[in-house]
Structures are given as structure tokens and as C-alpha cells.
Chain A
Amino acid sequence: MEDQYAISRLKQGDSNGLETLVSRYQAQAVHAAYIIVYDRPLAEDVVQTAFVKVAERIHQFDDERPFAPWFFRIVVNDALKLARKQKRNVSLEEHLDEPTAQLAKWLTDPGLQPEQLVEQKETRQIILKAISSLPPGQRAVIVMRYFLDMSMLDMSVKTGRPLSTIKWWLRDARKRLRGLMDTPQGR
């Protein structure tokens, strides 16, 4: 069942339409929410609630537009609100080991040398852990750009940060991540 057909069924009051959308997007949505709240049960709660909102608001949805961006905006919004409420962003100094803390800083601080950050660590896990130490707003930016493939303009609107800030931050992060992944330790 295509998204449009599922949405059409949902608008007619058929729960199979919603079940199709849940089945299609649940995993990706939980992953996105997890990056922001860093707690699996909370991430699942966020996505579950988002699907309920979809059911409640489906009549406001414009059939001519793609479903995924509309839905993921709900997920990211709710996850961000929850993360800020829970204040789950951990202190770098208190909770992270040294390489991870440095990588976290590297994501926002252009002064660090990423090549030195990944010794004896699995890069993917380091990246996830590093992202977890960022403030919720910055985690949401990472999700929006690298996971949900949102445009920088959309991200700027979404986060309320100037476009120039988003551009600079992502350009720098990409450049340094490239450097990190090209080192033998990062492969």
C-alpha cells in the first residue's frame, strides 16, 4: 500500500491505513527520536504519540505533499521537547570517556584534531555516544540533516537558528568527519 493510498484509507476512518504507516515508518522514526532523547523507551513513546497525532490530524494533511517530512517533523518536535524537559544531555566531563568527549567537542569546536580521537574505539559507537553528549537542539540538527535529509533552510526554520550558523556548523562537522573517517582507525 503506497503512502497516499494508506493516507486516503486513514482519512476514511480505516485503521489499516494507519497500521501501514506505522509499519513503514516506525523503525526510522524510533531511530530519529533516539538520537535526540537517547533513551529507547522514551523514543518509542515519542513515536507512538506521533502516530496517534497523525491519526488525530490526518485531515489537516495535504495529500499533495509527501507524508514522511510532515510526520518526521512531529517526531523531531516532540523528541526535542521531551529531551529539553528531561534535560538528558549529559555533562561531557562527568560522563564521557576522553575520546568520546573530544569527539563531541569536535562536532562543534573547529579547533580540535579528529584524527586523534578514535583510537581503540568502534567509530560508529563513538559517534553515537558523542552525539548523545550534545545539547538536544544540536542533536536534532544532526538528525534533520544526516538522518532525515532535511534542507538547511528547513533546519534553520525548525531550530530558529540563523541559516549561516547551520551552514557553518554542518560544513565544519562534515569536513572534520571526513578527516576522521579517512584515518585507518576510523575504518
Chain B
Amino acid sequence: MDNKKIRSILRDALEEEIPSSQVQLWPAVRASLVAGKHKLVQQGEKMNTVKPHRIPRLTFAISTVVAIALLAVALATPQGRAFAQNILQFFKPAESTTFPLQPSQIVTSEPDPSAPTAEPPAPLISVAEAEAQVGFGIAELPLVPDGFNYLGARLYGNAVNIEYETQGHGGHLVIQQSQEGLIQSEWDRVPARAIVPVKIGELDGEFARGTFVVYAGETSATWNPDAPILRLRWVKDDVWFEMTKYGDVQAIEYLDQAGLIELAESLVIKP
């Protein structure tokens, strides 16, 4: 047997293991270039408006809280949901890396006592209670992931969140499940270059790091690709899933893209 045959066997084996058609790295490569502020994407894509990588922790914390509160409000509103099943697009691409805020969303550096406060999160309930409310089996992790404590489930309309919190706070893991799709508000969108196609077992999914944040005094939200918010979206048995990791706490540093996928693959519906 000659080298050609050996090469052919190897290539066939690898093609069987990782079909070439499933390898789509360009979005991830572009995301890396954007995150690294490479002049290539700055020139080509007019990305000069991207904010500095490192933002003050407090500012980011405020921005993240605002973003999460707005997400929670959107979740509770049926109008906030867009259904993307027909196009199998897990993250709706953002048209730009910024979008203007409504006047009520603008964050000032000094808290305004007269400003309306964000709605509190839904109360924690058991998974069984949540299942009874939404009428479908809720998938759970077999074990509490390292570094987290289990909080419980929250119900937002027909969507269920299973939530974990880091020991000592500062980080969260939220697994959202819904038969009605995932929210696709402006805040949830992701610039196309930051959307990474992934596989969760045999299922297609998408991963994204970053979020839109609001800097004090600014009148627009800006995409921050370095924000420690990692999201994974996929669909299984007509249920839409989003797994989100918030925070850059050291105890959960290990939970990266591959870690989230591994957790996602381990989800089971307990009898």
C-alpha cells in the first residue's frame, strides 16, 4: 500500500469523524479578530466604535444588572418573544454593534431616586412546580456544576429558568427552556461575527460570548465582546434551550464554550 492509500484511509476516517461541511470557523475567526481589535476587521467592517476591552468592574456590573433586568422584563412580556423555529436561527444577528436607548433605559452616573426600579425576579419554585405550569418535561443537570449552588426554578410566562449561583455570589448559570422560542429582543441579538455554530451532541446550536452593555451617561447600548456572558442556544424535541453563564468569578472560570456544551449534553429529564 502506498502513501496515497494511507492518506486516503486517514482522510476518510477523519471525514467520518468530523464532516467538512460542519466545519465553519469564519464567524469565530472574525470574532477573535474583533475581540483583539485587529485592524483587518476595523478597516473592513468599520469596527472603530467598539469600546475598550476592559471596562471598570463597577460600571460593567451596573450595566449587566440593567441588561439582565431588561431581559427579565422582556421575558415576562409575550410581545418580547420572537419565534425563529422556521429559520433555525438561534441568535438573531444584530445589525450594528450599537443601538440607541429609549429615554427610560439611559443609565446616569448618579442614581435617580424617582426612577422606576426594575421588576423583581419571579419567585423560586421547584422544577416539579414549573413542569406542572408549563406542561412539558424540564431537563435538568444530573449534578450541580462545580463552583455553583442550586437556586431553583423561576417561571417567566411559558419559559422556565433553572438557576445556579456561585458560592459567594458574582456568577450565575441559567438554563432557560421554552416551547415558544427564545427571546430575540434588541438586547439579545448578537453581531453575526460573534455567533459561533456548535454541535451539542448531534444537534446544531450556536454559542456567543459578549452582550450589549450601557455605559454611564451614554444614550446607546454597545456590544462588548469581552463581557463575561456566555450563551449557548439549541433546540431539542421542540424545546428551545438557552444556557447562560454570567460573571468572571474564578471558581467558574473553567466553564468555557466547551464546558457549556458538555453541560448541555448532560441535561436529562428526570422521571
Q: Which residues of the other chain, A, contact B30 by a CB distance below 8 angstroms? A: 15
Answer yes or no: B263 CB below 8 A from chain A CBs.
no
Does A15 lie within 8 Å of B23, measured CB to CB? Answer: no
Does B5 lie within 8 Å of A181, measured CB to CB? Answer: yes
Q: Which residues of the other chain, B, contact A30 by a CB distance below 8 angstroms? A: 18, 23, 25
Answer yes or no: B102 CB below 8 A from chain A CBs.
no
Which residues of B7-33 have CB atoms within 8 Å of chain A's CB atoms?
7, 9-18, 20, 23-26, 28-30, 32-33
Q: Is the interface of B mostly helix, strand, loop or mixed?
A: helix
User: Complex Cα distance A187/B189, Å?
Assistant: 50
Q: Is the interface of A mostly helix, strand, loop or mixed?
A: helix
CB distance from A101 to the nearest CB of B (A): 18
Contact segment of B40-48, B141-149, B161-169: B40-48
Does B14 lie within 8 Å of A34, measured CB to CB? Answer: yes
User: Complex Cα distance A10/B15, Å?
Assistant: 29
Does A55 lie within 8 Å of B40, measured CB to CB? Answer: yes
Q: Which residues of the other chain, B, contact A63 by a CB distance below 8 angstroms? A: none
Question: Contacts A51-B29, A178-B1 hold; do A146 and B10 have CB atoms under 8 A apart?
Answer: yes
Answer yes or no: B38 CB below 8 A from chain A CBs.
yes
Q: Which residues of the other chain, A, contact B1 by a CB distance below 8 angstroms? A: 174, 177-178, 181-182
Q: Which residues of the other chain, A, contact B199 by a CB distance below 8 angstroms? A: 40
Per-residue 0/1 for A19-59: is the Cβ within 8 Å of any B Cβ (1 yes, 0 no)? 10011001110110011000011111001110110011000
Which residue of B6, B11, B25, B261 is within 8 Å of A51 (Cβ)?
B25
Interface size on A, residues (CB 8 A): 43
User: Complex Cα distance A178/B12, Å?
Assistant: 17
Does B9 lie within 8 Å of A127, measured CB to CB? Answer: yes
Which residue of B15, B24, B32 is within 8 Å of A26 (Cβ)?
B24
Does A146 lie within 8 Å of B6, measured CB to CB? Answer: yes
Answer yes or no: B49 CB below 8 A from chain A CBs.
no
Does A44 lie within 8 Å of B36, measured CB to CB? Answer: no
User: Complex Cα distance A174/B11, Å?
Assistant: 16
Per-residue 0/1 for B130-158: is the Cβ within 8 Å of any A Cβ (1 yes, 0 no)? 00000000000000000000000000000
Which residue of B18, B33, B40, B257 is within 8 Å of A31 (Cβ)?
B18
A residues at B contact (CB < 8 Å): 10, 13-16, 18-19, 22-23, 26-28, 30-31, 34-35, 40-44, 47-49, 51-52, 55-56, 123-125, 127-128, 142, 145-147, 149, 174, 177-178, 181-182
B residues at A contact (CB < 8 Å): 1, 3, 5-7, 9-18, 20, 23-26, 28-30, 32-33, 36, 38-41, 43-45, 199, 257-258, 261
Q: Which 9 A-B pairs have the closest CB atoms?
A: A27-B20, A124-B13, A178-B1, A15-B44, A31-B14, A41-B258, A27-B23, A51-B29, A13-B43
